[in-house]
Amino acid sequence: MMKKCLFVILLLACVNALNAANFSEKSTLSLGAYGNFGAAMGGGVEAGFALYSTDLVQVRNAVSVEMRALKLQEEKYDSSALIFHEKLMAGLLMGSSALSHMGFAYFRPYLFVSGGFGLVATKDTAMGEKPFYYEIQGGIGHEFITMSGHSVFFELGGGMGKLTQNLPNQIDKPTLGGVKFLLGYRWQF
């Protein structure tokens, strides 16, 4: 799974190398890929756009699709989920003279809240059958952006996740919701 995620990140970086435009506060669209290293591990892709943008403040929306491994019926990763997320981010876009020496001319700290719905596959059920998965999460993030629009970001957050119904032989503490740590790449244009 991690190899596929890294491949997508490298592919996006190569595609972005063809873009000659410089990043600015007017750059409102983004494409990205990330790895999730929280209680449930996986990776995903996202597309985002600005809802409101000034020279300093930005409110952004991102829609993502994530494949995640879950511990539901055993103490090992025995299930998977395909989760569709909607995320709202509010942040500040600032320039940095200190980080610009390393190539990152901008940085954007932000707060986020997200909701997701997912299809779950277990050893007893196929993906698309009941139960379904839903979650609500929130947290903080930080993005480091180059002049050409490449950015690396991390997010730290958490929340709650639930299944629409319990599974047979479900463990007491399944990996639903909980702490999440995202690390990824975005291309801003």
Q: What is the mean pLDDT of residues 89-113?
A: 87
Q: What is the mean pLDDT of residues 163-189?
A: 89
The predicted pLDDT at position 18 comes to: 45
CB of 111 closer than 8 Å to CB of 140: yes
What is the pLDDT confidence band of residue 25, given thresholds at 50, 70 and 90?
low
The predicted pLDDT at position 4 comes to: 63
Q: What is the mean pLDDT of residues 38-60?
A: 92
| Nearest alpha carbon to residue 140 among 188, 68, 89 | 89
Q: Could you give the dihedral angle defined by the CA atoms of residues 128, 30, 136 and 57, in that order, rounded to the nearest 10 degrees?
A: -160
| Nearest alpha carbon to residue 131 among 85, 63, 70 | 70
The reported pTM is 0.83
d(CA 10, CA 166): 39
Burial of 181 (0-12, 13-18, 19+ CB in 10 A): middle
Taking CA 16 as the corner, what is the angle to CA 182 and CA 82, rounded to the nearest 5 degrees?
40
Amino acid at 75: E
Beta strands in 54-177 (DSSP E): 57-70, 79-92, 94-95, 106-121, 132-145, 150-163
Q: Check pLDDT > 60 for residue 20.
A: no
Q: What is the mean pLDDT of residues 59-77?
A: 93
